[in-house]
Structures are given as C-alpha cells and as structure tokens.
C-alpha cells in the first residue's frame, strides 16, 4: 500500500508562497517575449526556486488569457506538433509592472523585519 507522507507545516507554507507568486512569475517570464507552456516551466525552473507542478501552470495560463493579460497563438514547430505560444498584452504588461512594484515594497519590508531572525540563525 502506498504510504502518503503528510507535508510539514513549513513545506505547506512554502507551496502556498510559491503558488501565490506564480501569476507574477509567469508574467515576468513572458516579459522578454513569447514562450510556450513547456518553455515557461523551464524558465521558472532555471531562473528561480519556483518549481511548480505542471498541472498548475496550464489552467493558470488559460485564466490569464481569459482575463486579457496574455494572448496566444499556435505555431507549427519542427518537432512535428504545433505549440501554443503566449505573449503579454498591454494589460498584462501593466499588471506585471504593478505587481512587481508591490512585490518590491513587500520584499523590502519583510527584509527589514527578518534582519534580526537571520542574525539569530547565523
């Protein structure tokens, strides 16, 4: 029988943190230009600690498209199957800028607050 390992509270919190940032991470990944789903996953895996389950990213991309933050187009590829490329819309760029500014502010405040915690940890 397969044993189900219950995640620790810290692991649960880490997943919540990652998922909460995922929307901004996807918009940021698309900042430089269009990418298809698997490329977005690779960018997230290589540029950050944001390793997410693949089943999470596609529904989120569909939602971002419905909200008008990204647009998509099918492009034929050499691999034999078409790929669905996503690109930021103007609204998506504005949202990414807003979220990045909020993130910056939040991160600075948390950094100040956590200074003492990090010193104890050292």
Partner 1 sequence: MNAHGGPQLKIEQYLSEVRGRLRGLREEQVSEIIAELRSHIAERAASAGELTVEGVSAALRTLGSSEELAREYAADEVLARAEISRSPLRLIDSLFSWATMSVAGFLVLIGAITGYFVGLVFLVVALLKPFHPATAGLWALRNGADDLELSMRMGFGAAPSNGHELLGWWIMPLGIVIGCGLVILTTRLALWCVGMYRRSRRLGWRA
- Phi/psi for 70 (5° steps) reads -130, 160
In angstroms, rounded to a whole number, what is the distance separating the alpha carbons of residues 104 and 8? 28
Starting at the edge strand that comes first in sequence, how are the strands of the sheet with 70-75 ordered?
Answer: 35-36, 83-88, 70-75
Cβ-based nearer residue to partner 1, 23 or 100: 23
Contact letters for partner 1, residues 3-42 (x by CB under 8 A)? ----x----x--xx--xx-x--------------xx----
The minimum distance between CB 45 and partner 1, in angstroms, equals: 12
Counts for the chain of helices (H) and strands (E), in that order: 4, 3
Contacts with partner 1 by CB under 8 A lie at 7, 12, 15-16, 19-20, 22, 37-38, 53-56, 58-60, 62-63, 66-68, 74, 79-84
């Amino acid at each position: 029988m397969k044993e189900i390992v219950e995640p620790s509270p810290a692991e649960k919190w880490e997943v919540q943190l990652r998922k909460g940032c995922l929307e901004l991470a996807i918009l940021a990944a698309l900042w430089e230009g269009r990418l298809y789903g698997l490329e977005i996953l690779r960018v997230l895996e290589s540029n950050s600690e944001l390793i997410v389950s693949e089943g999470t990213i596609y529904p989120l991309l569909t939602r971002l498209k419905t909200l008008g933050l990204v647009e998509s187009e099918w492009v034929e590829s050499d691999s034999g199957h078409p790929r669905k490329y996503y690109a930021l819309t103007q609204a998506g760029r504005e949202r990414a800028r807003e979220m990045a500014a909020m993130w910056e502010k939040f991160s600075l405040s948390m950094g100040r607050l956590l200074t003492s915690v990090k010193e104890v940890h050292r």
